[in-house]
A and B are shown apart, each in its own frame.
Chain A
């Protein structure tokens, strides 16, 4: 059992964050910094941008994202990440599980207040 907002967020992120990364790639390929900035906005989903890279390495290893290199006008070539077919399926499966899970948690919290 955890207490404290920081610890609770850490626990909640685990298991959900990688699907948030997959969700961000639905609109097309992105490079690391771009994903990190979107996730870190608001400091809820991610507090340290560097933690994105082990997560991306895991997703690539699991075959859920693939990478391609593209030249950049502002410096060295950039590695872009995009969803694979397996990634699309994993995201769809997460959506199916997440919505009833979220609703159940909301309902439990509401019941507790009543």
Chain B
């Protein structure tokens, strides 16, 4: 099936992302039209090869050209006042500036999580000289989560405003920007409880490091991806 070929899947995904700001009905109609075009072009071929699919995609033209035509009716000169206002937030500085509060917020979350006391060790000497050791862990997920949310709120507000107003990102990528800090806060706050239940003291330490590594690597990848997407879209809107 042509629609299961990686070339087509990649093309369709790119087009879907580029059409992210369109009305959902219009976006679905454009995507369905392009999909039917591919089906009809390859009709009669039981197993279309990579060359066949590439030839059809070449005739369709780059996803950017299709998206540019789709937004032709939504340009600032004919668009609504909201879109006119948002076009000023489609410049290349927006995807760069928005990652500053994101990075500050992530740094605050990591420091807070690192400094948060997790467990206590109580050693008791009995009359026979035997030392018994008890490890106490009290769940700190809720207070840590609340402290995290409060500390990143000043950074999260500009992220929310820029991501929502700017038309550089579609709905999915806007949500990724908005949910990055809250998701990192939840992960850092909840993982110790889960790790304690699963692996005791050793699990707690491993869980803490793993959650911090996940937040660090995951957020780096998400921010890189969102910044690249925003810069690309900004360039397309200006040409």
List the interface of chain A (C-beta within 8 A of B). 14, 31-33, 36, 40, 47-58, 60-61, 72, 74-76, 78-79
Chain A interface SS verdict (over half): helix
Nearest Cβ distance between residue A5 and chain B, in whole angstroms?
17
| A75-B43 in contact given A53-B37, A57-B30, A58-B73 (Cβ < 8 Å) | yes
With A51-B65, A53-B29, A79-B32 already in contact, 4 other A-B pairs whose C-beta atoms are closer than 8 Å: A32-B37, A50-B66, A54-B66, A57-B29
Which residues in B have their C-beta under 8 angstroms from that of A75?
39-40, 43
Bound state CA distance, A49 and B30, in angstroms?
12
Tell me if B129 counts as interface (CB < 8 A to partner A): no
Residue of A nearest to B70 (CB): A54
Which residues in B have their C-beta under 8 angstroms from that of A60?
29
Q: Which of B33, B41, B60, B62 contacts A57 (CB 8 A)?
A: B33
Interface residues of B in 102-153 (CB under 8 A from A): none
In the complex, are the beta carbons of A74 and B66 less than 8 A apart? no
Bound state CA distance, A36 and B41, in angstroms?
11
Tell me if B21 counts as interface (CB < 8 A to partner A): no
Closest 10 CB pairs of A and B: A48-B61, A53-B33, A74-B43, A50-B60, A54-B70, A51-B69, A50-B66, A33-B40, A48-B65, A57-B29
Tell me if B52 counts as interface (CB < 8 A to partner A): no
Chain B interface SS verdict (over half): helix
In the complex, are the beta carbons of B44 and A74 less than 8 A apart? yes
Which residues in B have their C-beta under 8 angstroms from that of A61?
26
In the complex, are the beta carbons of A54 and B72 less than 8 A apart? yes
Bound state CA distance, A45 and B124, in angstroms?
88
| A54-B69 in contact given A49-B59, A74-B44 (Cβ < 8 Å) | yes
Nearest Cβ distance between residue B85 and chain A, in whole angstroms?
23
Which residues in A have their C-beta under 8 angstroms from that of B41?
33
Nearest Cβ distance between residue B61 and chain A, in whole angstroms?
2
Which residues in A have their C-beta under 8 angstroms from that of B165?
none
Bound state CA distance, A84 and B59, in angstroms?
29
Q: Mark B27-55, 1 if CB is under 8 A from A, else 0.
A: 00110111011011101100000000000
In the complex, are the beta carbons of A49 and B37 less than 8 A apart? yes
Residue of B nearest to A51 (CB): B69
| A78-B33 in contact given A54-B72, A61-B26 (Cβ < 8 Å) | no
In the complex, are the beta carbons of B61 and A47 less than 8 A apart? yes
